[in-house]
């Protein structure tokens, strides 16, 4: 169903049975909205299940979902550059996701942790937008975070300026190179930082700032790793314009990253829930994937 809401009244367009996990459906919706309701500014909110690098928007009837590459394909097909893309969905506030979307939106609003029903308070968000229709995408992204406090102690939400995500990715790549080169000398320190990092419902999603912070505080680790970690922290501070977290996740800074600790889990990811991980822009362009693979070999975990 598509609804056009105006002055409290909703006009319904019946599209019949629609597969929400099919990228063609999202293309159809974006094209329909921009052709029937042209605007100077656009925001896209995706509300459903989310799984980070796994994708989002599971359709209960078809069991299909939008993979990250499928989502990218839909955004290309829709041919709209968005002021804001928001995920009213779990686990989507990842460096990999933000990097994948960097060319299609100015800002990303998402959660590192699982979210709960009605996490986006649309009534409050839209009231602010109606009262200030000239607000910038930056302001809208920040307002969404302000009203996404779902009153759960494990809740998280952040707004990310995607114009800074290339710098985040570059700093992560430099850190990955330093970590990979230092595995033989500093494997225990790296493992301790990984084990101690803030993580989420998927334990292999860790807060990248917190991981970098723990590295930077270890006096026994090499200066090149410490310096690269500090650069990651600075890049994330610049990219995350608004961040909220509940009491359980006090060390959440807005962006997580895939960092597995088990070779079998990593292989299951590639063969199962995120088979397109290797073809994501972040995996192709940034050295993090190579570091994780080297780390798992050194770690020796079955």
Do residues 105 and 83 make contact, with C-beta atoms less than 8 angstroms apart? Answer: yes
d(CA 116, CA 151): 10
| Residue 248, domain member (yes or no) | no
Report the distance separating Cα 245 and Cα 227, nearest Å. Answer: 27
pTM: 0.95
Among the three residues 135, 163, 191, which one is the final residue of a domain in this structure? 163
pLDDT surpassing 50 at residue 67: yes
pLDDT in tens, 10-56: 888 888 888 999 999 999 999 999 999 999 999 999 999 999 999 99
Q: Which helix (H) or strand (E) holds 143?
A: helix 137-146
pLDDT tens figures, 228-285: 999 999 999 999 999 999 899 999 999 999 999 999 999 999 999 999 999 999 999 9
Is residue 61 in a domain? Answer: yes
Distance CA 65, CA 254 (A): 24
Residue 122 is assigned to a structural domain of this protein: yes
Number of domains in the chain: 2
Considering the domain architecture, whether residues 178 and 109 belong to the same structural domain is answered as no
pLDDT higher than threshold 80 for residue 150: no
Question: Within this chain, do residues 9 and 145 fall inside the same structural domain, yes or no?
Answer: yes
Sign of CA pseudo-dihedral 180, 183, 186, 192: positive
With respect to residue 244, please indicate whether it lies within any of the assigned structural domains. no
Express as a percent the part of the chain with pLDDT over 90: 84
**Both 103 and 194 in a single domain?**
no
Whether residue 268 is found in the same domain as residue 126: no
Nearest-angstrom CA–CA distance, 6 and 38: 15
Any domain includes 247: no
101 and 86 in a single domain? The answer is yes
Question: Of 130, 163, 196, which residue is a domain's last?
Answer: 163
Classify burial at 117, counting beta carbons within 10 Å of its beta carbon; exposed 0-12, middle 13-18, buried 19 or more.
exposed
Domain span at 156: 2-163
Q: What is the DSSP string of 232-290?
A: HHHHHHHHEEEEEE-GGGTT--S-EEE--S-HHHHHHHHHTT-TTGGGSHHHHHSTHHH
């Amino acid at each position: 169903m598509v609804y056009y809401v105006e002055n409290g009244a909703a006009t319904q367009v019946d599209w019949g049975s629609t597969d929400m996990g099919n990228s063609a459906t999202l293309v159809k919706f974006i094209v329909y909205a921009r052709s029937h309701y042209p605007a100077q500014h656009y925001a896209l909110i995706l509300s459903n299940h989310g799984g980070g690098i796994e994708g989002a928007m599971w359709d209960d009837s078809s069991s299909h979902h939008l993979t990250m590459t499928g989502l990218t394909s839909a955004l290309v097909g829709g041919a709209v550059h968005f002021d804001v893309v928001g995920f009213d969905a779990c686990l989507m506030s990842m460096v990999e996701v933000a990097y994948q979307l960097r060319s299609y939106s100015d800002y990303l609003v998402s959660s590192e942790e699982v979210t709960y029903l009605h996490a986006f308070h649309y009534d409050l968000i839209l009231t602010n937008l109606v009262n200030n229709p000239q607000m910038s995408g930056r302001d809208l992204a920040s307002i969404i975070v302000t009203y996404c406090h779902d009153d759960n102690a494990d809740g998280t939400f952040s707004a990310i300026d995607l114009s800074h995500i290339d710098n985040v990715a570059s700093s992560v790549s430099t850190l990955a190179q330093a970590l990979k080169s230092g595995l033989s000398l500093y494997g225990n320190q790296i493992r301790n930082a990984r084990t101690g990092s803030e993580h989420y419902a998927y334990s292999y999603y860790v807060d990248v700032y917190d991981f970098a912070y723990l590295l930077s505080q270890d006096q026994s680790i090499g200066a090149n790793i410490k310096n690269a970690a500090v650069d990651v922290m600075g890049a994330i501070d610049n990219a995350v314009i608004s961040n909220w977290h509940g009491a359980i996740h006090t060390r959440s800074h807005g962006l997580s990253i895939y960092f597995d600790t088990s070779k079998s889990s990593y292989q299951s990811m590639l063969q199962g829930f995120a088979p397109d991980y290797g073809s994501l822009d972040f995996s192709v362009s940034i050295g993090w994937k190579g570091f994780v693979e080297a780390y798992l070999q050194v770690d020796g975990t079955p």
